[in-house]
Amino acid sequence: MSNTVEFARMNGLGNKILVVDMRRRRDMVTPAAAIKLAGDAETAFDQIMAIHDPRADGTDAWIDILNCDGTRAQACGNGTRCVVQALASETGKKTFTFQTVAGILNAREHEDGLISVDMGRPVFAWDRIPLAEEFHDTSRIELQIGPIDNPVLHSPSVMSMGNPHAVFWVDRDPMDFDLHRFGPLLENHPMFPEKANITLAHVTSDSAMTTRTWERGAGLTLACGSAACSAAVSGARTGRTGRKVAVTVASSPNRGTLHIEWRERDDHVVMTGPAEWEWAGVLDPTTGAWQRQAENEAGAR
């Protein structure tokens, strides 16, 4: 294989991530390459986190984020934790500042291996989420799925956490709902001109909830960091929880937990959780051809 770059297969609570090293290059991972990689069972992913040389002073890298359908995403909290772990292992640094299309993200690896990412301030204005209709109060909007007199899901809290989110409140385990059926309808609902991440959230105490997410551009996902942030913020915003929430991701392996704090002092949302390295390889960012570094004799896929 020629024109290759190194990548790592990682995960954040099961959220499948490919961290691709595009530093010292001017090209990008192409949508065609992303789609090819997503179609291979061994490299199937929720997001690609492509690390590029910094574009702004005071930052460590520019991060380009791709979904498995080849579209570009604005934010990925679980993926950002994976990038931090990869770069911390390479450099020995513990704190990082990244630039994305959604803005600047600051992150830190703690001594226990957990990683905190400052996801910035949530956005509630209807035209910045964005929504197709004006709503003065986006903590509860008029939107439902199912019979008009007995909807299955209704009245979501909506916001942007760098990307659009709709959080539907449910009264039992989110795994009990057919999100595989409802997710595509809601992601592509005319209310969301840029589509949306769809989350079901079950509040279990004033400091805990359980979630499950249909991710924009990726579908059903084992975990979504920005969705966990959005659910936690929406819980506090609607009086269901406080501003520090343990979010158990129902679909992640062993129901992993993210700790979310919506800080009062600056309104920033800080997410803390794990990242896990799985294996490494090389890939062609133009075509998506790849091979494991430890299995070079097997040849390109």
- Which amino acid, 188? N
User: Would you call 30 exposed, middle or buried from its count of C-beta atoms within 10 A (0-12, 13-18, 19+)?
Assistant: middle
C-alpha triplet 279, 285, 289: angle, nearest 5°: 65
* Segment (H or E) for 109: strand 103-109
Q: Which of 68, 82, 224, 229 is catalytic?
A: 224
- Would you state the structure tokens that stand for residue 160, as one six-digit string? 């942007």
Cis preceding-peptide flag for 130 (omega within 30 of 0): yes
Contact call for residues 81 and 273 (beta carbons, < 8 A): yes
* Segment (H or E) for 236: helix 225-237
Q: Which of 68, 76, 82, 229 is catalytic?
A: 76
* Segment (H or E) for 187: helix 179-187
Catalytic-residue membership of 229: no
- Would you state the structure tokens that stand for residue 248, as one six-digit string? 């158990």
Contact call for residues 156 and 143 (beta carbons, < 8 A): yes
The phi-psi region of residue 113 (left if phi > 0; otherwise alpha if psi is between -120 and 50; otherwise beta) is: left
> Rounded to an integer, what distance in angstroms lies between the CA atom of residue 38 and that of residue 74?
19
Q: Which of 180, 271, 184, 257 is nearest to 226 (CA)?
A: 271
Tell me which residues are annotated as active site.
Answer: 76, 224
